[in-house]
Amino acid sequence: MVGKDGLSALSESVLRRAGESLGGGAVLVGLSGGADSAVCGWVATQLAGPVRAIFIDHGWRHSASMRLAAAEVAAAVGVPLAVIEVQPGGGASPEGQARTARYQALLAAAKPDERILTGHTADDMAETVLAHLLRGAGVRGLAGIPEKRGQLLRPLLAVRREETRALATELGLPWVDDPANLDLSLRRNRIRNQLVPYLENEYNPGLVEVLARTARVFSQDDAALERLVEAVPIRRDSSGAVLIPATLLRALEPAVRVRVIRRGLREARGPHAGTFAELESALDVMEGRARRRMIGEGLQVEREGPWLAFYRQPLPPSWTAVLAVPDEVSVVGLRITTSAGRGPLPIGRWLVGLDAKQLGYQLVVRSGQPADRIAIRNGSKPLGEVLAEAGVPPRRRSGWPVVEAKAGLAWVVGSRVAEWARPRQGEWIRAAAVAEPIGPDPANRS
């Protein structure tokens, strides 16, 4: 293991700059096998602890060699290494999907008390700012790579890439260059290997420092706007959908509104989310120009009454549960309870009375199906129509709980009781449903 004794001026300088943000405590270091992450791992052992490392294997062409390098670096600095394999997929932006998959894996692997360290440098910051400028980003994009966001921390953002390479070599760390960084078919590599050197040679030799300084200025503006964004309540319902209050969203200044939508996307999909086209789709839905939009990676945005909802459409569930009297069962985010009832009948959609004789003191609760119908006074009505009238959003109608008996549907939970299932006389069954949401549930508006 590399020790603290005999530190060079370079190693002392890197430790000093990294220590301004790192401090002590448990950390999980993302090791790629390259010089930047190798130095990040070494810095962590000098300034923090306990330290763990993780290598994210994307299954790409050079992943095996980089995985070996990461293992050798971890051994050199004396930290345990775990390997997680991900399948980021392809699509229009395989790099973006890989980045999202990588951060999701890191966040899933980290313990609650661990900070996640990555080896991003000042050069990465400059390249990121340029890339965002070329695609027309706003303040958030021109703020570059955040030094801190949640559990994520980049302690080397004040360190140049040439310094990490020199220090990794000086320390004898067995790092290697990722051959994928030379692939000029990738836009980020063209920015790194062609655009930045050209601008440094022809316009400003201090380009990286200038862009890093620009990012710091924009990051201050970004932080001020984010404080306004954090005041907007964004929640999840029991199905996992991310909900933003649409009326409040429309009342916000445009700069804050877009950031709130970005925050909703991050909540729904991970730390890297929100292209211009995706934001436009969400704004179209919010303004009523579209009812629903698919915005990539299986995510949909839809206006649901007072909410703007981001969700993934689940596969239609199929389940059945037997519920005695008294008893209770939890299904699809609802807790359904039964008891014997006498006296005045309850009136509502979430608390109802059912005919004990017709149902035999035992309810069968199951997932609703598209072909289901419930008896009404002058015939019957399709389940989907009943749920729509009750305000249940389309994404939650598939598999919505219903109570049935031999005569058919007795109760569509949260909606209506069938005519034949209404109590006539004597004892009846008191049935109640209570939502068990993570956040406010748009369907539960009785």
Q: How many Å separate Cα 153 from the centre of its chain?
A: 18
pLDDT of residue 211: 94
pLDDT digits (tens, 9 = 90+) for 133-144: 998 888 888 899
Largest CA distance in the chain: 92
Residue 341 has pLDDT above 60, yes or no: yes
pTM as predicted: 0.63
Q: At what angle do helices 35-47 and 9-19 cross, to 10 degrees?
A: 70
Q: What torsion do the CA atoms of 40, 46, 48, 51 make, to the nearest 10 degrees?
A: 70
- State the pLDDT confidence band at 361, using cuts at 50, 70 and 90: confident
- State the pLDDT confidence band at 2, using cuts at 50, 70 and 90: very low
pLDDT of residue 45: 94
pLDDT digits (tens, 9 = 90+) for 190-225: 999 999 999 999 999 999 999 999 999 999 998 898
pLDDT digits (tens, 9 = 90+) for 366-422: 999 889 999 998 899 999 999 989 888 888 888 899 999 888 899 999 999 999 998
pLDDT of residue 239: 76
pLDDT of residue 191: 94
pLDDT of residue 380: 92
Please state, in angstroms and rounded to a whole number, the distance separating the CA atoms of residues 44 and 50.
Answer: 9
Which of 422, 404, 414, 429 is closest to 348 using CA atoms? 414
* DSSP-based three-state secondary structure for 245: strand
Burial string for 165-202 (b: 16+ CB within 10 Å, else e) reads: bbbbeebebebbebeeeeeeeeeebebbeebbeebeee
Residues 6+ apart with CB under 8 A from 197: none
In the chain, the domains with their CATH numbers are 9-222 (3.40.50.620), 232-312 (3.30.465.60), 320-435 (no CATH)
Please state, in angstroms and rounded to a whole number, the distance separating the CA atoms of residues 302 and 138.
Answer: 25
pLDDT, average across residues 78-92: 81
Average pLDDT score, the chain:
87
The answer to whether 402 and 383 have CB atoms below 8 angstroms apart is yes
Please state, in angstroms and rounded to a whole number, the distance separating the CA atoms of residues 193 and 144.
Answer: 19
- State the pLDDT confidence band at 51, using cuts at 50, 70 and 90: very high
167 or 279, which is more confident: 167
Kindly state the tokens that stand for 48.
Answer: 């923090």
Residue 109 has pLDDT above 60, yes or no: yes
Residues 6+ apart with CB under 8 A from 3: none
Please state, in angstroms and rounded to a whole number, the distance separating the CA atoms of residues 200 and 280.
Answer: 35
Please state, in angstroms and rounded to a whole number, the distance separating the CA atoms of residues 227 and 284.
Answer: 25
C-beta atoms surrounding 233 within 10 Å? 11
Q: Backbone phi, then psi, for 146, in 5-degree steps?
A: -70, 135
Residue 93 has pLDDT above 80, yes or no: no
Residue 153 has pLDDT above 50, yes or no: yes
pLDDT of residue 9: 92
pLDDT of residue 23: 82
pLDDT of residue 315: 64
Share of the chain above pLDDT 70, in %: 93
Residues 6+ apart with CB under 8 A from 74: 31, 41, 53, 80, 81
In this structure, of 6-15, 57-66, 269-278, 282-291, the range with the lowest mean pLDDT score is 269-278
Residues 6+ apart with CB under 8 A from 122: 157, 158, 159, 160, 161, 208, 209, 212
- State the pLDDT confidence band at 180, using cuts at 50, 70 and 90: confident
pLDDT digits (tens, 9 = 90+) for 257-305: 988 998 998 888 876 657 778 889 999 999 989 888 888 777 889 998 8
Q: What angle do CA 215, 28, 144 make, to 5 degrees?
A: 10
